[in-house]
Amino acid sequence: MVRVFRPLIERTTWQRWAHLVVGGALLMPYWFLAMSLTPLLPAGNTVVMVVLILLVLPGAAAFVTGLVPTVRLLESSLAKELLKGPAATLVPGSAHSWESRVRAAAWYTLHLGAGVVVSGLSLAVPPFAVVMLLAPMVTWDPRFLETWGWRDGWHQWPAPLIGLASLAVLLALIVAAGRLLARLAPRFLGPSAAEKLAAVEARAVKLAERNRLARELHDSVGHALSVVTLQAGAAGRVLDSDPAFAREALGAIEESARAALEDLDHVLGLLREDPAGPAPQATLKDLGRLLEQTRIAGVELDAEVEPEVEHVPAAVSREAYRIVQEGLTNALRHAGKVPVRLRLGIAGERLEMEMSNPLGAHPVSSTHLTLPTKRET
């Protein structure tokens, strides 16, 4: 018994009923338009005229309206808010292809058609049910009964049952129509295969950009923290014996911390999708400052950098800078203040990089890396 009356108290039932009523209201202008065009139609069969006025012309006009791209946005938003269920997963958006437009137009026509049926019955059935429920308690005018072919002795006892049955049928129709539309909404208003592919590609691009930002944040901030740690330790040890070097180290610490903070603030802004300028991209032109900061940290750095490396393509220059930065960071973090040797130059159309450092009693460990200075096909 509880399951029978549960739809009466469920909020979703009446939200879906409101969705259907909105569809019935939206169909009214099309009916008025169809009736205004009836004088232009040739005289003929009355049934044909009724079908044209009530079904064909309003349905055709609604379908044409549904082809407007914005209709999909409005209908998907309405279905998401009122139909719930499977329709709650809809992502409102305008139609960007003819396939999406046609599906949205079909949905719009279906929404208006089902809505006008439910709206009409919602207006007619409740008064009819009230009359049926009160029928046994009312003395009917014989003239009214005769118009319906009834006599004074008509059987009134089934009338309340008929009234209750009509309300039950109306409620069942509302529930069924609402559930059906909620299930069909994703098929008609959901993304097409092309739109799903475009969404996946956009997500992949966004994920790749976030990974790139995370990598750059790791490189820049990680290097800055490693250098700052060593610089602070060096400044503390020589604070009394060499104040000039200590001041220089503290200045380098301030510069490194400020640059790392700028990188961190910008990357966090991009991750929050705040409007901002282009992300700071250090290149080999900034290599001198990186090497100087490393020397101030107490590292004996032997660097040979050919001037031509500043003219390599931007993409190669950025990646090469990050590789040098990561190599110096790893040397500081894992080997300490050991001598580091860096060679960076151009060989034909290639950028060659060599970085090495001793590991105590172990043999010298070196890394050789060659990057193309231009994209190869």
Q: What residues have CB less than 8 Å from 81, skipping those under 6 apart?
A: 15
Q: pTM of the predicted model, to two decimals?
A: 0.56
Q: What is the pLDDT of residue 361?
A: 43
Q: What percent of the chain has pLDDT over 70?
A: 78
158 pLDDT higher than 60: yes
Shared-domain flag, residues 296 and 368: yes
Shared-domain flag, residues 144 and 70: yes
As a whole number of angstroms, the distance between CA 63 and CA 102 comes to 8
112 pLDDT higher than 90: yes
Q: What residues have CB less than 8 Å from 331, skipping those under 6 apart?
A: 299, 338, 340, 355, 357
307 burial (CB, 10 Å; 0-12 / 13-18 / 19+) is exposed
377 lies in some domain: no
Q: What is the pLDDT of residue 226?
A: 73
Q: How confident is the model at residue 320 (pLDDT cuts 50, 70, 90)?
A: confident
Whose CA is closest to 332, among 231, 203, 202?
Answer: 231
Asked if 249 and 235 touch (Cβ cutoff 8 Å), the reply is: yes
221 lies in some domain: yes
Torsion of CA 15, 16, 20, 22, to 10 degrees: 30
Task: Label residues 15-26 b or e (16+ Cβ within 10 Å = b).
Answer: ebbebbbbbbeb
Shared-domain flag, residues 207 and 180: no
Q: What is the CB neighbour count within 10 angstroms for residue 126?
A: 14
Convert the pLDDT of each residue in 253-266 to its tens digit: 777 777 777 667 66
Most confident of 19-23, 158-162, 245-249, 324-328: 19-23
Shared-domain flag, residues 316 and 170: no
Shared-domain flag, residues 319 and 334: yes
Asked if 87 and 182 touch (Cβ cutoff 8 Å), the reply is: yes
Whose CA is closest to 85, among 9, 213, 182?
Answer: 182
Q: Rounded mean pLDDT of 177-199?
A: 88
Shared-domain flag, residues 242 and 259: yes
Q: What is the CB neighbour count within 10 angstroms for residue 68?
A: 16
215 lies in some domain: yes
34: containing domain: 2-191
Domain C-terminal end among 136, 170, 191:
191
Shared-domain flag, residues 44 and 95: yes
Q: How far is CA 78 from the centre of its chain?
A: 18
Q: Which residue has the tokens 């529930």?
A: 175
What would the two tokens of residue 160 be?
Answer: 């309340």
Shared-domain flag, residues 48 and 185: yes
257 lies in some domain: yes
- Give Dmax (Cα) for the chain: 123
Q: What is the pLDDT of residue 75?
A: 94
Domain C-terminal end among 191, 213, 247:
191
Phi and psi angles of residue 229, each rounded to the nearest 5 degrees, phi first: -60, -45
Whose CA is closest to 222, among 326, 317, 143, 118?
Answer: 326
Can you give the C-alpha Rg of the chain in angstroms?
39
314 pLDDT higher than 60: yes
* 37-46 long-range Cβ contacts below 8 angstroms, 24+ apart: none
Convert the pLDDT of each residue in 36-91 to its tens digit: 776 666 665 665 666 666 677 888 889 999 999 999 999 999 999 999 999 998 98
DSSP string, 199-262: HHHHHHHHHHHHHHHHHHHHHHHHHHHHHHHHHHHHHHHSTTT-HHHHHHHHHHHHHHHHHHHH
Shared-domain flag, residues 181 and 210: no
Convert the pLDDT of each residue in 116-131 to its tens digit: 999 999 999 999 999 8
Residue 284 DSSP symbol:
G
Domain C-terminal end among 173, 191, 209:
191
Shared-domain flag, residues 251 and 166: no
231 lies in some domain: yes
105 lies in some domain: yes
Shared-domain flag, residues 169 and 238: no
Total structural domains in the chain?
A: 2
Q: How far is CA 361 from CA 93, 330, 335, 342, in A?
A: 65, 18, 12, 21
Shared-domain flag, residues 137 and 68: yes
Q: How far is CA 290 from CA 123, 280, 283, 360, in A?
A: 79, 15, 10, 25
